[in-house]
Amino acid sequence: METNDTSRLNLLGNTATESSGGCCGGGSCGCGHGAASAPATADVTAADANEYLVTGMTCGHCVASVKEEVGAIDGVQAVEVALVKGGASRVTVQSAGPIDEAAIRAAVEEAGYQLA
């Protein structure tokens, strides 16, 4: 199958976020990083996988910010995000063992968003 779409989504670009409402201030996307969810991470065998709902995310840059912050928590092996613009996005965290929800909440807030 041939396609003419040569655009690429850079989710590893600028990681700066604003403290309220994430990179886009909770409104429509203005950062230019697109609205697609992040590509799936590598398949990881994990002892624990937990899902969280995160509000305020509107674009791929928002997804990258949450993945970066949550992924930096000790024990986290993989983070996947199903973006729901302006709604509650599903964040799946795979880990080697239990991760304290307070650590997840703190990481999400550091990225500029809230657990639902």
- Structural domain that includes position 109: 35-115
Total structural domains in the chain? 1
Note whether residue 75 is domain-resident: yes
At 50-92, the pLDDT tens digits run 999 999 999 999 999 999 999 999 999 999 999 999 899 999 9
| C-alpha triplet 52, 67, 30: angle, nearest 5° | 100
Position with higher pLDDT, 103 vs 2: 103
- pLDDT in the model for residue 13: 38
Place of tokens 């779409």: 5
At 12-59, the pLDDT tens digits run 333 333 344 555 555 545 444 444 434 444 444 446 899 999 999 999
Note whether residue 17 is domain-resident: no
Note whether residue 24 is domain-resident: no
- pLDDT in the model for residue 23: 56
Note whether residue 98 is domain-resident: yes
- CA gap 12, 28 in Å, rounded: 20
Domain of 47, CATH number, reads 3.30.70.100
pLDDT band for position 113 (cuts 50, 70, 90): very high
